[in-house]
Amino acid sequence: MKITDLVSFKNEELTDFSLKENAEAMRLALKKRRKTLGKHQDICIDGKEEVTEKCITSVNPANIKEVIGTVGSASAEQAHRAIELSHKKFSEWKYSSLEERVQLLLKTASLMRERKNDISALMVLEVGKSWAEADADSAEAIDFLEYYARQALRLDQPEELVPLSGEENVLSYIPLGVGVVIPPWNFPFAILAGMTSAALVCGNTVVLKPSSDAPMIAAEFVNLITEAGIPEGVLNFCPGGGSEIGDVLVDHPQTRFISFTGSKEVGLRIVERAARPHKDQIWIKRVVAEMGGKDSIVVDEDVDIESVVEGTLAAAYGFSGQKCSACSRVIVHEKIYDKFLQRLVEVAKEKISVGDVEGNNCYMGAVSSAQAYKSILNYIEIGKKEGRLMVGGGAVGIKGWFIEATIFADVSPEAIISLEEIFGPVLAVIKCADFSEALTIANNTNYGLTGAVYSNNAEHVQRAKKEFHVGNLYINRKCTGALVGAHPFGGFNMSGTDSKAGGYDYLHQFSQAKLISKKI
C-alpha cells in the first residue's frame, strides 16, 4: 500500500463469538495451536539464533502439566552482547526511511489481521484469556501498529515555529538509540507490540526482553515482524529472567532508553538504576515506566444500580482482575449501599464463573502463575480479616491456578486490600457517607491509573473531573477497556510516567527534537 493511500485510523473490530461461524473459526484455531504445543524458540541477536544454556518453559495456567512451549533464556553475556550489537545496528537503522518503518508496521498489522484467531488462541492457552479478552488483545495490537504508523508520519510534519526574518528554522524528531523493551505478561501481545513498534518506527533499535510468563506469544510477535521484513538485528529477541538479565540490560552504557510496563517494584528499580551513569556512558537514559494501579469505581446515590453492577463486575473480573485498569475497589454511597451490594453479590454469583476458558464456557480463566496464585490467595486470607466475605474466597480445581471471583464488603479505606494492588479477582466494597468522602477515598492510594464515577449529579461529575486524580477517568462507564487513539492510557503517581500509550504524543518519548537554524 502507498503511504499516501493511508486512510484515517479506525479501531479494529472485535469478533462476535456468538455467531456460529466465528466460534467455529476460533475452535479450529485452538485445535491448530494445540498441534504446535511444545515448540522451542531460540533467542535471536543480530539476526542470528543462538543456543542458550537455560530455557524458559511456558505452561498452560489452566493445566499446569501442559507445556505451551519453551524459549531460550539469555545469559548475562548474551544480554550484554545484544545491546552492543543493537547499538552497532542503530548507526544504520537510524537513517532508514520513515516510509520503510511505517510500511513495516502496516505489513505486520496486516499479517496479524490475517491470523488474528491463531494469535488469540495462543493467548487462551498461554495466559488463560477468555476468547473475548484474547480477541481484544489481538485487536489492540493491530490498533497500536496502525496508529503509531500514522503518528510517525504526523511527527515527520514540520513543527510550527515563530518565524524570524533572515533565518530558516526547522524542528524535527530524530531517534534516540538502543531501547530495552520490557513488557508484562497480562497484555502479552498488545502491550508488547505497542511498546516495541513505537520504538522501532521512530528509528530506534530494540532489545526485547519479554515476560517469562508469556514468552511464546512474544516469540509470535517477533516471527510476524520478521516475516513482514524487519532487517536483521533491528529487533533482538532476548528472553531471560528479569532478575538475571534485567539489570544487565538496564545498566549497559549503550542502552539509551528503557520502555517498561509492569509492577511498581520493578519499575522503580529500573528508574533508580537507569539514573546512574556507567563508564563510557554519554547520555542520560530515558525511562518510560508504566506501572501498577489500585483502581476505584465511585457509585453515587442517584444511579441505575443494574447498569453500575454490570460495569463494576466487568471491570473487576474481566481477565480475572489481572488488568492494571481493573476495578479492585467500589466506593458506594451509604444511601444505596445495601441495595447495591445485594445486587452485586447476586449477579456475581450468577454470572462470574471460573474454569478452563478454552471451550468458551467460563467467564474467567486461571490466573497467570504459581506466584500470582499464591499472592492472590494470601490477599484473600487478609481480606477475610479485613472485610465481610460475600462471594468466593478461595481456590477451585486442581489442574490449574483457578481462583474464585471474590467480594469483600464493609472494607475500611485504610485496609491492606483497599490500598495494595492484588492483581486478581478480588473486589473490596467500601461504604462512604457522601460524594466528598468518596473522592477522598478514591484518591487515598499512592497509585493513580484509572477510575470511574457513576453519577447523575452534574455538580458531582464536575467535581470528579477536577478532583479524582487518575490518568484515565471514566464517567458513567467502567474503568477498563481503553481503546487506542480514543483513550490514551497512562497513570499518575506510582502508576508510572503517564506516557499515554495509544495517544498522539506517545512517540515523542522515543525520539528527540533537533532544531536546525539556517541563516538565509
Q: What are phi and psi of 273, to 5 degrees?
A: -70, -40
What does each C-alpha distance from 497 to 66, 338, 424, 491 come to in angstroms? 38, 38, 24, 7
Which 46-85 residues touch ligand NAP, going by CB under 6 A? none
Nearest to 205 by CA among 79, 90, 88, 81: 90
The least distance separating ligand NAP from the CB of residue 246, rounded to whole angstroms, comes to 2
Binding window for ligand NAP (CB under 6 A); candidates: 118-126, 235-243, 376-384, 403-411: 235-243
DSSP string, 430-443: EEESSHHHHHHHHT
261 lies in the site for ligand NAP, by CB under 6 A? yes
213 lies in the site for ligand NAP, by CB under 6 A? yes
Amino acid at 493: N
Question: Does residue 327 carry a catalytic annotation?
Answer: no
Per-residue x/- mask for ligand NAP, residues 492 to 511, rule CB under 6 A?
---xx---------------
Scan for cell 492484588, then name that residue: 422
Torsion of CA 314, 375, 187, 185, to 10 degrees: -170
Distance from chain centroid for Cα 164:
44
Q: Between residues 209 and 333, which has the closer beta carbon with respect to ligand NAP?
A: 209
Question: Pick from 23, 94, 98, 242: which binds ligand NAP (CB under 6 A)?
Answer: 242
Q: Are 195 and 183 in contact (CB under 8 A)?
A: yes
Question: Pick from 108, 197, 204, 212: which binds ligand NAP (CB under 6 A)?
Answer: 212
295 lies in the site for ligand NAP, by CB under 6 A? no
400 lies in the site for ligand NAP, by CB under 6 A? no
The least distance separating ligand NAP from the CB of residue 445, rounded to whole angstroms, comes to 12
What does each C-alpha distance from 437 to 219, 308, 334, 445, 464 come to in angstroms? 47, 19, 11, 14, 12
Binding window for ligand NAP (CB under 6 A); candidates: 61-69, 243-251, 405-413, 438-446: 243-251
Which 447-486 residues touch ligand NAP, going by CB under 6 A? 449
The least distance separating ligand NAP from the CB of residue 292, rounded to whole angstroms, comes to 3
Question: Pick from 75, 78, 120, 186: which binds ligand NAP (CB under 6 A)?
Answer: 186
The least distance separating ligand NAP from the CB of residue 100, rounded to whole angstroms, comes to 29
Dig out the grid coordinates for 158 from the structure. 514540520
Polymer length in residues for the chain: 520
DSSP 128: -
487 lies in the site for ligand NAP, by CB under 6 A? no
The answer for residues whose C-beta is within 8 angstroms of residue 354's C-beta and 6 or more apart is 320, 362, 363, 364, 365, 396, 402, 403, 404, 405, 425
The least distance separating ligand NAP from the CB of residue 127, rounded to whole angstroms, comes to 10
246 lies in the site for ligand NAP, by CB under 6 A? yes
407 lies in the site for ligand NAP, by CB under 6 A? no
404 lies in the site for ligand NAP, by CB under 6 A? no
DSSP 489: B
Question: Does residue 362 carry a catalytic annotation?
Answer: no
263 lies in the site for ligand NAP, by CB under 6 A? yes
The least distance separating ligand NAP from the CB of residue 81, rounded to whole angstroms, comes to 17
Catalytic entry in 126, 220, 290, 358: 290
Compute the distance between CA of residue 45 and CA of residue 85 in angstroms, rounded to an integer. Answer: 8
243 lies in the site for ligand NAP, by CB under 6 A? yes
Question: Pick from 219, 324, 376, 442: which binds ligand NAP (CB under 6 A)?
Answer: 324
Which 145-174 residues touch ligand NAP, going by CB under 6 A? none
Binding window for ligand NAP (CB under 6 A); candidates: 10-18, 74-82, 288-296, 297-305: 288-296
Q: Between residues 182 and 452, which has the closer beta carbon with respect to ligand NAP?
A: 182
Compute the distance between CA of residue 272 and CA of residue 267 in angstroms, rounded to an integer. Answer: 9
Compute the distance between CA of residue 369 and CA of residue 371 in angstroms, rounded to an integer. Answer: 5
Catalytic entry in 324, 327, 432, 479: 324
423 lies in the site for ligand NAP, by CB under 6 A? yes
Handedness of CA 95, 232, 142, 268 (dihedral sign): negative
DSSP string, 382-421: HHHHHSEEEE--SEE-SSS-EE--EEEES--TTSHHHHS-
Q: Are 473 and 488 in contact (CB under 8 A)?
A: no
The least distance separating ligand NAP from the CB of residue 351, rounded to whole angstroms, comes to 24
Size of the site for ligand NAP (CB under 6 A): 34
The least distance separating ligand NAP from the CB of residue 137, rounded to whole angstroms, comes to 11
Binding window for ligand NAP (CB under 6 A); candidates: 150-158, 210-218, 342-350, 503-511: 210-218
Compute the distance between CA of residue 241 and CA of residue 191 in angstroms, rounded to an integer. Answer: 19
Compute the distance between CA of residue 82 and CA of residue 74 in angstroms, rounded to an integer. Answer: 9
Q: What are phi and psi of 336, to 5 degrees?
A: -120, 5
Dig out the grid coordinates for 62 from the structure. 489452566
394 lies in the site for ligand NAP, by CB under 6 A? no
Question: Pick from 122, 134, 266, 405: which binds ligand NAP (CB under 6 A)?
Answer: 266
The least distance separating ligand NAP from the CB of residue 475, rounded to whole angstroms, comes to 21
Question: Pick from 203, 262, 424, 488: which binds ligand NAP (CB under 6 A)?
Answer: 262
Handedness of CA 460, 465, 470, 473 (dihedral sign): positive
491 lies in the site for ligand NAP, by CB under 6 A? yes
Scan for cell 471474590, then name that residue: 406
Q: Which residues are catalytic?
A: 290, 324
Interface residues with ligand NAP (CB under 6 A) are 182, 184-187, 191, 209, 211-213, 241-243, 246-247, 250, 261-263, 266, 269-270, 290-293, 324, 421, 423, 449, 489, 491, 495-496
